[in-house]
Amino acid sequence: MTHSTTLSRRTFLRVGGAFAGAAALAACAPVAAPADDGGAGEAPMAERVTIRYGRHDPAAGVATTLKAFHEEFPDIEVSVEQIGEFHAKIPALAAAGTLPDVVRSWEAMALDMGRNNQFIDIQPYVDGEPGFDPDDFYENWWNYPVVEGNRFGVPDAAAPHVTFYNADLFDAAGVEYPDKNSFTWTDFEEKARAISDPDNKIWGSETIPVGWHMFSVKQTWQNDGSFYSEDFLESRLDKEETIQAIQYWADMLLDGQVMPSPSQIVGIGGAGAAAELLAAGKIGMQRMGSWITGSLVDAGFRFNVVAEPSQARRDTITHGAFNNISTTSEHKDIAWTWLNYNTSTQGIYNYASEANFPGTRRSSNEIEPFPWVAEVDFEVDWDVIPDALTYGHILPGPANEGEALKLIGDALEKVYSGDAKAADIFPEVSPKVTAVISDI
């Protein structure tokens, strides 16, 4: 639906080439569009306009979309800027008033920048876009970048966390594969224990990645706990379920017969290298974002995918990004043209194919070949991956996330190394975290 309407509008625009850019958009764009500074009026007619698009990863991810866009809108030049040290540089650019016109930002950043008026409310653009169908997006993703009624972004693609397993190692140990319909923490632990062979450096499970503590939140969700309250204003670290969940996995880690301890693998690096352990055929199961599929294709063993193990409920992390328009953009209408194009069904599909994970639009995920499917000569339950998008939580987005994660991470490290019990340390850290995240 959305697809065809958008296309027809584009055709129209192409025909009316002379009216390209802002002028044409102003014609299409609605009365509701904000009549503020960067408005359509000041944009020059029929003159090539350049807008900047900032993202943390290389431009390759949007190359296909960009090419199509430039063909369709010859008068708009989108210059892609890859921004290193993203979480520090984006605020710096904001402070300098030189943010790119369109910024692709992660969960917490999108909200924080929105709260501080660095991104504009794009709801008027959405309302004014003919044929725009919000229902095409997964609800959780569509509703995420909204604070106090203001919408700060449109999601593109998102990777859910699932469990990858090395079927060959399961066979070698004579362990049954995880059950698609019921896979609990207890199942996970039993199977991992049965596969582990520490003397030969074979482990049932990947360790909990050091330095990636934002991912530990999924365990708490699976146990009905959480790091933060729904509105991200209060810490929930002192909640019974949160503490239980953390302690359960810490015990599993410290047991030494289920996962390698952090020090046993840490010399190799962070989570990036952890993915290599699975690829190297040394671990039975790894719970990780679906982006690691790529590294498994040439690994030379049979692997499969199952949902994350659950306890109180089925839950997981989905991690993705939003496209936002900066307040300081001088070409907001044109920025919206690009943003909308880039998050169209085809746009999201293009990026998703590059990144090997699903889009946040249902329609993107119906286009074949499916981005999350890798070509292998054995059966893989690929459906598990897009399915996880429908029930998983999106990574939380409290204010001052960096500082909060430092506090939480330090506490987690103590628990994971066995220096402290979650029940002792989390109630202690909780008020500090609340103080940090409520300081908006």
Q: Minimum distance from CB of 165 to another protein (Å)?
A: 20
Query: Rounded to an integer, what distance in angstroms lies between the CA atom of residue 122 and that of residue 82?
Result: 23
- Closest to another protein by CB, 40 vs 352, is 352
Nearer to another protein, 46 or 420 (CB): 420
Distance CA 385, CA 365 (A): 11
Pairwise CA distance, residues 124 & 128, whole Å = 6
Which residues, numbered 256-295, are part of the site for another protein (CB under 8 A)?
262-263, 266-269, 272-273, 275-276
180-219 positions binding another protein, by CB under 8 A: 211
Q: Residue count at the site for another protein (CB under 8 A)?
A: 46
Please say which residue, 195 or 275, places its beta carbon nearer to another protein: 275
* Contact (Cβ atoms closer than 8 angstroms) between residue 123 and residue 151: yes
**CA quadruple 303, 307, 310, 315: dihedral sign:** positive
Q: Which is nearer to another protein, 40 or 274 (CB)?
A: 274
Question: CB–CB of 195/177 below 8 Å?
Answer: no
Give the nearest distance from C-beta 363 to another protein in angstroms: 28
Q: Which of 116, 143, 182, 390 binds another protein (CB under 8 A)?
A: 116
Binding to another protein by residue 59, rule CB under 8 A? yes
Alpha-carbon distance of 134 to 365, in angstroms, equals 15
Q: Which of 16, 17, 41, 58 binds another protein (CB under 8 A)?
A: 58
> Could you give the C-alpha distances from 369 to 65, 352, 364, 366, in angstroms and in order?
17, 11, 11, 9
Per CB under 8 A, contacts with another protein among 378-417 are: 400, 402-403, 406, 410, 413-414, 417
What minimum distance in Å lies between the beta carbon of 194 and another protein? Answer: 26
Q: Residues 141, 395: contact at Cβ < 8 Å?
A: no
C-alpha–C-alpha distance, residues 369 and 367, integer Å: 6
Question: DSSP assignment of 173-185, as one string?
Answer: HT-PPPPSS--BH
Binding site for another protein (CB under 8 A): 57-60, 81-85, 87-89, 91-96, 98, 112-113, 116-118, 211, 262-263, 266-269, 272-273, 275-276, 400, 402-403, 406, 410, 413-414, 417, 419, 432, 435
